[in-house]
Structure 1
Amino acid sequence: MALIEVTEQNFEQEVLKSDIPVLVDFWATWCGPCRMQAPIVDELSGEVSSVKFAKLDVDANGRLAQQYGVMNIPTLLVFKEGKVAGSAVGLQSKESLRELLGL
């Protein structure tokens, strides 16, 4: 499934109301580890169709980052049925993301 950009405007529809789990990558353009995480998330999104993959720029969507307690980036949150079901902070391998998603 293709990676989507989520913002404060579409977060509720794309993430909270999704009928499948959603992995949200909280990132920023200036963050080196975030740039290293991006291709891993992108690659996994091409392999897994049972999960929606999304990116959220913390600089442009600070309210959401604050709401979900994101203090360090990259932070990856898994949402199921509108609630946080798992999280990981820092650069993650594809294998650890699979584990986080229960794959």
Structure 2
Amino acid sequence: MPIIEINDTNFEDTVKNNDIVLLDFWATWCGPCRSFAPIFEAASEQHQDIAFGKINTEEQQALAAQFQIRSIPTLMIFREQIIIFSQAGSLPAPALEDVIAKVQALDMELVRKEIAEQQESA
């Protein structure tokens, strides 16, 4: 699956219509973002069952603000429309693969149960 350029109009559909979505918040002027781009692209080629999207924080300031992006690159991962990972900074390829494997192995029923318990106690 090719990398999707995410914007205000396709963000919601992308998250709703894909089980797992990896998002790379980046900017053209960001050196670490440019270094991370080939790693992100290689992972997208290896994981055809996962949606990979890039969000240019300069062009999509509303999305960057919505998710309180303060540093770039920031990697954010949704699974079944739930944010399960968000981390600023570039990841080396083995670390990204490790994160992807952990995301795929998650028991989402347990995640939803934990979220419900947190909401009840709040």
TM-score w.r.t. the length of structure 2 is 0.78
1:16-53 CA distances to partner (integer Å, 9 max, x unpaired)? Answer: x1232000000001101000010100011111122111
Q: What secondary structure is seen at the aligned counterpart in 1 of 2:78?
A: strand
Which of the pair is proportionally richer in strand?
Answer: 1
Instruction: Determine if contact 1:87/1:100 at 8 Å carries over to the other structure.
Output: no
Which residue number in structure 2 is paired with residue 59 of structure 1? 58
Gapped regions of structure 1 (runs ≥ 5): none
Instruction: Determine if contact 2:20/2:77 at 8 Å carries over to the other structure.
Output: yes
Deviation at 1:88, TM superposition (A): 2.0
Which residue number in structure 2 is paired with residue 5 of structure 1? 5
Which residue number in structure 1 is paired with residue 68 of structure 2? 69
Q: What secondary structure is seen at the aligned counterpart in 2 of 1:9?
A: coil
**Dislocated runs of 4+, deviation >4 Å:** none
Is 1:96 the counterpart of 2:87? The answer is: no
Bigger RCO of structures 1 and 2 (CA < 8 A, at least 6 apart): 1
1:46-84 CA distances to partner (integer Å, 9 max, x unpaired)? Answer: 111221111000011111111111100000000112221
One-letter amino acid of the counterpart of residue 77, structure 1: M
Q: What secondary structure is seen at the aligned counterpart in 2 of 1:73?
A: coil
| Structure with max Cα Rg | 2
TM-score w.r.t. the length of structure 1 is 0.92
* Cα distance in 1 for residues equivalent to 2:97 and 2:79: 15
Give the number of equivalent residue pairs. 102
